[in-house]
Structure formats: structure tokens, C-alpha cells
Amino acid sequence: MLPEEPARGRIVLFIGCPHAQTEREVEILVHEYPDTGEQAEIFHVMELGAQFGRYREEHPNG
């Protein structure tokens, strides 16, 4: 589901509400570089779409 594994670090998917006053959800992809001291990079943010929406339905608790 996620893009190919990067040469360095890892890609993490976050799904959730952008704030407490809404029930709509967003999908966020972050490129992390654990144990390197490099700052994570957010490279994808949008309303929850079909690809990750299916994942959300299959894994409602995370």
C-alpha cells in the first residue's frame, strides 16, 4: 500500500482527524529517519481517500 521502501529511513502512515471539531479524517505520509538526528519529512497530506480508507475500514483501531 505504501510507496516502495526508501533507501534510508522508513515511511509511516497516520490517519486521523485534523482537529477535535470534525469527524472527517486525513491521511498523512511521513518519511522518518530514526536514530540519525535528521528531521522527519511530511510529504503527503489529503482527505482520507479510497486507498487508505480501505485500510482504515480493515483496521478501525489502528
End-to-end CA distance of the chain: 15
**Residue 37 resides in a domain:** yes
**Residue 12 resides in a domain:** no
More confident residue, 61 or 11: 11
**Residue 9 resides in a domain:** no
Where in the sequence is the domain holding 46, given as residue range(s)? Answer: 18-56
pLDDT (tens digit, 9 = 90+) per residue, 41-54?
Answer: 999 999 999 999 99
52 burial level (CB within 10 Å; 0-12, 13-18, 19+): buried
**Residue 11 resides in a domain:** no
**Residue 41 resides in a domain:** yes
Its pTM stands at 0.80
- pLDDT of residue 3 exceeding 70: no
The count of structural domains within the chain is 1
